[in-house]
């Protein structure tokens, strides 16, 4: 089934890693309603999980009192996902390239790389409260390697 | 994530299945490596044939395990990568760090 009219969902989650599963299920439900190609689900889910993990761990410091807000919007054959945290914000350009030789054995710092690998557009901004807002967009029909 | 372990000679083979992701699988593989080292097994082979997804925390934990084992004078190698996992290792350049095998006998013989 393919749905041509816009689809939208919003979630507000406490900052717990287990809530990533809730966000994933919502994304997959939207994808299936929109007739998303099956091979697109994996990169979409991967990018979403990274964005929420960053919001929970780095943005909200795993404080369950702080919230993560998500907005999914399916429109014109694409999906746009916005993830907001209640942290202090950060400079994405300060994150070192994990593929450089000097960084290969670093155990962290690959989340944003994953997101950029799997989505057509990834932009970072600030929420009115000073937290981080990341907006990611991807076509629903393109294959796994199209954004490589 | 599910796991099982077996020993072939002085090599600990750790079979992983499911998701290696933040807050669950990543912690589990750290514990499995700690147990192997406690058992005196410093040559370790991860069988990733049953792994369906690995996020950046899972990849980071595998890198940390690699460093831990190497510092102990051992080696950590991988086998049975799915196309998705292989792609992740390629794009992150970690394919240049890990020895990767398709065949268990070949992998065991490489230690």
| Residue whose pair of structure tokens reads 């460093």 in the numeric block | B67
Q: Which of B61, B84, B91 minimises the CB distance to A117?
A: B91
Residue B99: give its domain's CATH number: 3.30.750.24
- The answer to whether position A33 is within a domain reads yes
The model's pTM is 0.89
A76: left (phi > 0), else alpha (psi -120 to 50), else beta?
Answer: left
Q: Where are the alpha helices (DSSP H) in B5-103?
A: 25-38, 56-71, 83-91
Rounded Cα–Cα distance for residues B81 and A137 (Å): 28
Q: Which of B22, B57, B97 minimises the CB distance to A104?
A: B97
For the cut 80, the answer to whether the pLDDT of residue A24 exceeds it is yes
* CB-CB under 8 Å, A107 with B67: yes
Angle, helices B56-71 vs A38-54, to 10°: value is 70
pLDDT tens, residue by residue, B72-102: 999 999 999 999 899 999 999 999 999 999 9
Number of domains into which chain A is organized: 1
The whole domain housing B74 covers: 2-109
pLDDT tens, residue by residue, B14-62: 999 999 999 878 889 999 999 999 999 999 999 999 999 899 999 999 9
So what's the ipTM on this one?
A: 0.85
- The answer to whether position A2 is within a domain reads no
Residues on chain A touching B57 (C-beta within 8 angstroms): 53, 108
Rounded Cα–Cα distance for residues B39 and A106 (Å): 26
The tally of CA atoms less than 13 A away on the side-chain side of residue A46 is 30
Which chain A residue lies closest to B62 (C-alpha atoms)? A107
Q: Please report the pLDDT score of residue A90 as a whole number.
A: 85
Number of domains into which chain B is organized: 1
Using alpha carbons, select from A81, A56, A54, A51 the residue that is nearest to residue A66. Answer: A56
Residue A129 Cα, gap to closest chain B Cα (Å): 27
Residue A45: give its domain's CATH number: 3.30.565.10
Rounded to the nearest 5°, which phi and psi values hold at B4? Answer: -150, 150
- The answer to whether position A1 is within a domain reads no
For the cut 50, the answer to whether the pLDDT of residue A148 exceeds it is no
Q: Which residues of B48-71 are buried (b: 16+ CB within 10 A; e: fewer)?
A: beebebbbbbbbbbbbbbbebbee
The whole domain housing A18 covers: 7-147
CA A111 to the chain's CA centroid: 10
Which chain A residue lies closest to B87 (C-alpha atoms)? A145
């Amino acid at each position: 089934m393919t749905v041509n009219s816009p689809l939208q969902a919003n979630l507000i989650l406490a900052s717990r890693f287990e809530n990533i599963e809730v966000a994933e299920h919502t994304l997959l439900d939207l994808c299936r309603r929109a007739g998303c190609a099956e091979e697109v689900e994996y990169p979409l889910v991967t990018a979403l999980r990274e964005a929420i993990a960053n919001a929970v761990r780095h943005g909200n410091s795993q404080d369950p009192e702080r919230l993560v807000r998500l907005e999914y919007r399916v429109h014109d054959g694409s999906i746009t996902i916005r993830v907001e945290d209640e942290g202090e914000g950060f400079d994405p350009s300060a994150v070192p390239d994990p593929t450089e030789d000097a960084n290969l054995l670093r155990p962290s710092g690959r989340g944003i790389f994953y997101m950029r690998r799997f989505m057509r557009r990834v932009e970072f901004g600030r929420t009115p409260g000073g937290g981080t807002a990341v907006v990611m967009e991807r076509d629903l029909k393109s294959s796994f390697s199209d954004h490589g | 994530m599910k796991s099982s372990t077996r020993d072939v000679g002085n090599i600990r083979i750790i079979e992983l299945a499911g998701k290696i992701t933040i807050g669950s699988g990543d912690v589990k593989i750290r514990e499995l490596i700690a147990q192997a080292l406690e058992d005196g097994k410093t040559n370790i082979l991860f069988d990733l044939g049953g792994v369906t997804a690995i996020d950046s925390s899972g990849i980071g934990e595998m890198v940390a395990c690699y460093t831990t084992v190497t510092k102990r004078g051992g080696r950590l190698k991988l086998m049975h990568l799915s196309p998705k996992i292989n792609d992740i290792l390629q794009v992150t350049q970690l394919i240049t760090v890990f020895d990767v095998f398709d065949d268990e006998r070949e992998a065991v013989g490489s230690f």
